[in-house]
Chains A and B, each alone.
Chain A
Amino acid sequence: MTRFIWFVSFISFLWLKGTGIETNQTNQINQTNKIDQTDQINMTFKTWIKTITFYEILVGMKVTMSHLLHYRPITLQYPHEKRTLPDNYRGMLALLRYDDGTEKCVGCDLCEAACPSRVIRVVSAEVPGEPTKRYAKEYYMDMTRCLFCGMCVDACPVDALGMTREYEWAVYDKRQLGLNKEQLLAIGDRSFPVREKQLELQHPNVAFFNVAFKHLPQKPS
Chain B
Amino acid sequence: MTELSLRLAVSLAQILAEMGIVIVTIATMTYFERKVLGWMQDRMGPMEVGPYGILQPVADGIKLFFKEDIVPAGANKAMFALAPMLTMVVSMIGFAVIPFGSNMTMDIFGITIKPFVVADINIGILYILAIASIGAYGIILGGWASNSKYSLLGGLRAAAQVISYELNVGLAIVGVLLLAGSLSLVEITEAQAGGFWHWFIWGARPDGFFPIHTQIFAFVVFIISAVAETNRIPFDLPEAESELVAGFFTEYSGMRFAFFVSAEYASMTLVSCVAASLFLGGWNAPYPGTIFEYVGLEQLAWVEHIAWFACKVYFFLFLFVWIRATLPRLRYDQLMRFGWKVMLPIALANIVVTAITVYFFPRG
Contact = CB atoms under 8 A, between A and B. Distances in A.
Contact of A57 (B38, B327, B337, B353): B327
Most chain B CB neighbours (cut-off 10 Å) among A11, A63, A64, A65: A64
A38 to B, nearest CB: 28
Contact of B44 (A14, A19, A64, A75): A75
A10 B349 CA distance: 8
B45 to A, nearest CB: 9
Contacts of B331: none
A68 B40 contact: yes
Given A7-B353, A57-B327, A60-B327, A73 B44 contact: yes
Nearest to B224: A54
Given A10-B353, A73-B42, A61 B326 contact: yes
Nearest to B344: A18
Nearest to B324: A64
A14 B42 contact: no
A67 B47 CA distance: 19
Contacts of A60: 326-327
Contacts of A17: 345
B36 interface: yes
A65 B327 contact: no
A67 B349 CA distance: 38
Contacts of B341: 18-19
A3 B212 CA distance: 8
B346 A64 contact: no
A68 B327 CA distance: 15
Contacts of A213: none
A11 B43 contact: no
Nearest to B360: A3
Interface in A1-24: 3-4, 6-7, 10-11, 14-15, 17-19
A212 interface: no
A72 B42 contact: yes
Contact of B217 (A6, A11, A18): A11
A63 B322 CA distance: 11
B225 to A, nearest CB: 14
Interface string B327-346: 10000000001000110011
B325 interface: yes
Given A3-B353, A60-B327, A11 B346 contact: yes
B13 to A, nearest CB: 39
A111 B212 CA distance: 86
Interface string A17-40: 111000000000000000000000
Contacts of A57: 326-327
A74 B41 CA distance: 10
Given A18-B345, A77-B47, A64 B42 contact: no
Interface in B274-305: none
A71 B212 CA distance: 41
Which applies to chain B's interface (DSSP): helix, strand, loop or mixed? Answer: helix
A75 B42 CA distance: 8
B159 interface: no
Interface string B182-211: 000000000000000000000000000000
B349 A64 contact: no
Interface in A47-88: 57, 60-61, 63-65, 67-68, 71-75, 77
B38 to A, nearest CB: 8
A14 B325 CA distance: 30
A133 B327 CA distance: 70
Interface string B143-158: 0000000000000000
Nearest to B353: A7
A94 B314 CA distance: 57
A45 to B, nearest CB: 19
A75 B345 CA distance: 46
A18 B325 CA distance: 28
Contacts of B36: 68
Contacts of B357: 3
Interface in A130-150: none
A73 B42 CA distance: 4
- Which 7 A-B pairs rank lowest in CB-CB distance, beginning with the nearest? A18-B341, A14-B345, A64-B40, A60-B326, A75-B44, A18-B342, A64-B325
Interface of B: 36, 38-44, 47, 212, 214, 217, 322-323, 325-327, 337, 341-342, 345-346, 349, 353, 356-357
Given A18-B337, A64-B41, A77-B47, 7 more contacts: A7-B217, A18-B345, A19-B342, A57-B327, A63-B326, A68-B40, A75-B43
